[in-house]
Structure 1
């Protein structure tokens, strides 16, 4: 494994903080101002024209955008001999791929807030004719103050144009994106539906042992019902996820305004409810069934009176 560089351009490297399919990401400081930034640099083995063109597109599209929920691009050098790089604002937060497992799921109110913020960012990008193509938990950073930031437009393309390659993350990829079709905002709506599903359940929308089976599932099989993994989520919220993830894009939400309106209505009902929707978060289905039985027997039952600490070991996650 190659060692991290000590400097890139006018920046000294603090540490490596991430790696993607084509690039590495570093926390860095400007050598004069000491301002903290994040630097994304193409790896040496990814200097072919197709990757350079995608990187140049990311820089060009990123420079067009200014939104509180999108990580800003500050600078770039596409001709650096050690690899093209771009400089972004440094975000002190955690990517949500740390919160996508069954035992690490965020509270439902956090999920609602994140989805609303990312939808706002993607609606803004759509007004500029930009399709992100890689909306997933790992590309959403949640700051301690609750602000969510969408990052990594490395797969982004202008709307209704074909990308140089089929790109994105399979678990969040719509059928038309998988086919390499020209895309519009409905591809990102599908992806955000899949993100919502993952953050609520800790599972992908389909079960597959390999990429081939995943592709078949994306094209042909309905998503696994949310209730398979988490009880008692409101039907209105489940319906929004289902419509966002329709395989035929003409049956999906037509645009972000439609999605945001329906999602907002579902979120409002949840926020106004006094029912503890987090009661089932992070538990196995067998334990959720036990909880449901207790709830049916005693409406005054609450999580404070029956927590993981009081569960028998046989009811583990």
Structure 2
């Protein structure tokens, strides 16, 4: 037994605990028929047995299986099965070995490279676009609900308060203010109709945090937080990180517009802009003017006596590159089809 959980739930073997949260405890398990590891999410007994909120909690718990169970996407955690074994309610999910949440990368001392952040949000936007086209709105997009694999791939999880945005849906779904306040859109806080654009607002908040290590709406209490989200613009990204390009500032701003009509309307639109931004990030940065390059090269002892025209010709045929200290430029013994001239450094 582990915290009252038996060694088996249905056909699945229950092993060690992985994590726990407000909606349940997650265990490492094993599917003996397919012979693969699985994650087993078990409902909290005390929440199920609460006389006032037990029924609502049970519906929310199995809501994840109902909503996410219909989704199949490489960047969404797969739901394999769900059931009840005696008094234990459980959901069987894809197990991500060595995974951690994006929350680890929202601290200033542990920020990811800008290119990696763009890649992560791009994948999340594509995954949400797919979910939205299947009429599923997550409603709780935040760093702790996005898992990062060992190779920095991402998986969106925890669809426990997800909403099926379909007129003919017959499923009873939880209403009221649902989500995590720091990542809620204005329409969520106002208890208005929630659409896919709510998830894109929340993803914009996540992107802001991953780029800066700061929350865009930092507040000392809930009422101040609500006022910031509803009425005030967050500080520019460059207030916290000077190397963030303007194109990313514009993307984050658009994602977090107060009026849902002014935001990205679909995840694919956001993903498209991120793809264009990524192409720009990959281009060599022109931090130094062509004239400055010429002046730096002309001063080198190697080029003493070279006519200006020949120095310009060399510059036009060359690529100006910057390297960090201890970077390997070329390794002795390896074949290469070019040579390097050190302008600064040794």
Question: Normalising TM by the smaller chain, what interval?
Answer: 0.7 to 0.9
Runs of 4+ in 1 over 6 A off after TM superposition: none
Query: 1:267 pairs with 268, 278, 282, which one?
Result: 278
Query: 2:137 pairs with 126, 131, 136, which one?
Result: 131
Q: Work out whether residues 15 and 26 of structure 1, in 8 Å CA contact, stay in contact via their aligned partners in 2.
A: yes
Per residue, is there more helix in 1 or in 2? Answer: 1
SS of the residue 2:125 aligns to:
helix
Q: Work out whether residues 123 and 256 of structure 1, in 8 Å CA contact, stay in contact via their aligned partners in 2.
A: yes
SS of the residue 2:325 aligns to:
helix
Q: 1: CA distance between counterparts of 2:219 and 2:323?
A: 36
Report the TM-score when normalising by structure 1: 0.82
Q: Work out whether residues 174 and 191 of structure 1, in 8 Å CA contact, stay in contact via their aligned partners in 2.
A: yes
SS of the residue 1:91 aligns to:
coil
Q: Which moved more, 1:192-201 or 1:145-154?
A: 145-154
Name 1:290's counterpart in structure 2: none
SS of the residue 2:69 aligns to:
helix
Q: What displacement does 1:256 show?
A: 1.9
SS of the residue 2:177 aligns to:
coil
Q: Work out whether residues 139 and 150 of structure 1, in 8 Å CA contact, stay in contact via their aligned partners in 2.
A: yes
* CA 275–101 in structure 1, closer or farther in 2 if over 3 Å, else same: farther
> Does 1:186 find its partner at 2:197?
yes
Q: 2: CA distance between counterparts of 1:4 and 1:109?
A: 45
SS of the residue 2:192 aligns to:
coil
Residue by residue over 1:132-161, the C-alpha shift from the partner in whole angstroms, topping out at 9 and shown as x without a partner, is 111111111222233211111111001268
Q: 1: CA distance between counterparts of 2:232 and 2:326?
A: 40
Q: What displacement does 1:5 show?
A: 2.5
Alignment of 1:54-93 (within 5 A): 54-77=60-83, 79-92=84-97, 93=99
Residue by residue over 1:199-258, the C-alpha shift from the partner in whole angstroms, topping out at 9 and shown as x without a partner, is 111111111112222122111211122122111211111100001000111111122232
Name 1:39's counterpart in structure 2: 40
Q: Work out whether residues 159 and 182 of structure 1, in 8 Å CA contact, stay in contact via their aligned partners in 2.
A: no
Q: Work out whether residues 125 and 268 of structure 2, in 8 Å CA contact, stay in contact via their aligned partners in 1.
A: no
Report the TM-score when normalising by structure 2: 0.75
Q: 2: CA distance between counterparts of 1:245 and 1:4?
A: 43
Which of 1 and 2 has greater Rg? 2
Q: 2: CA distance between counterparts of 1:243 and 1:63?
A: 31
Q: What displacement does 1:32 show?
A: 6.0
Q: 2: CA distance between counterparts of 1:147 and 1:180?
A: 33
* CA 5–242 in structure 1, closer or farther in 2 if over 3 Å, else same: same
Q: 2: CA distance between counterparts of 1:273 and 1:133?
A: 39
* CA 233–53 in structure 1, closer or farther in 2 if over 3 Å, else same: same
* CA 219–113 in structure 1, closer or farther in 2 if over 3 Å, else same: same
Give unmatched runs, 5+ long, in structure 1: 277-298, 307-317
Give unmatched runs, 5+ long, in structure 2: 49-53, 168-172, 288-319, 328-346
Q: Work out whether residues 126 and 268 of structure 2, in 8 Å CA contact, stay in contact via their aligned partners in 1.
A: no
Q: 1: CA distance between counterparts of 2:191 and 2:86?
A: 32
